[in-house]
Structure 1
Amino acid sequence: MVCVPIFFLETSVAGVAYDHFIELAESLGNIPASTIFSNSRDVEDGHAKLYKYAINHLIGERETNYYVCQVCGFVSDGVLPDACPVCSAPRDQFVEFK
């Protein structure tokens, strides 16, 4: 199944690579880059969780709505947030996918 390798890749990227990039940016005094890498790490972590949910939903034949932040790419599973937990974009910046 295609979702399983993607799940492990997303977990690996979220857990290791971004932390290194954040430390490097901070050591160079580049706070904007550090912030971007931190936000990207948080989005990747969310993607890994969504892949896990998607696998379970496929197995259980359950349909779920997803809401994607058009600003940073954060994906919410089944709940439209008032604001993006990653970039603080308002709820009108989310697009629904069924």
Structure 2
Amino acid sequence: MAEITRDDVAHLAQLARIEMSEAELDKMAGELAHIVDAVKSVSEAAGPDVPATSHPIPLQNVFREDVVGHVLTPAEALSGAPDADQDRFKVPAILDEE
């Protein structure tokens, strides 16, 4: 089993700014050791002839052609707006700028 000490876990917890009790530090040291061993066994299973992959099956993006549909006129788009100015929505200023 991988050597993950309680001090290693305490150091990682401090770096991550996570408070852990003494019992949690001891428990996490064992759990992290198992995780490291599991990752190691997966790494050993894949030989140099096995390419790295993120998915078990090949994926392909499906794109559709852009088709222009019904487009609102400025007047239609602004018809429900509480205030408009020069074909634009007018909203209250949120900064002290003009």
- TM-score normalised by the chain length of structure 2: 0.31
Considering Cα pairs closer than 8 Å and 6+ residues apart, tell me whether 1 or 2 has the greater RCO: 1
Report which of the two has the higher share of helix: 1
- TM-score normalised by the chain length of structure 1: 0.31
Report which of the two has the higher share of strand: 1
- Rg larger for: 2
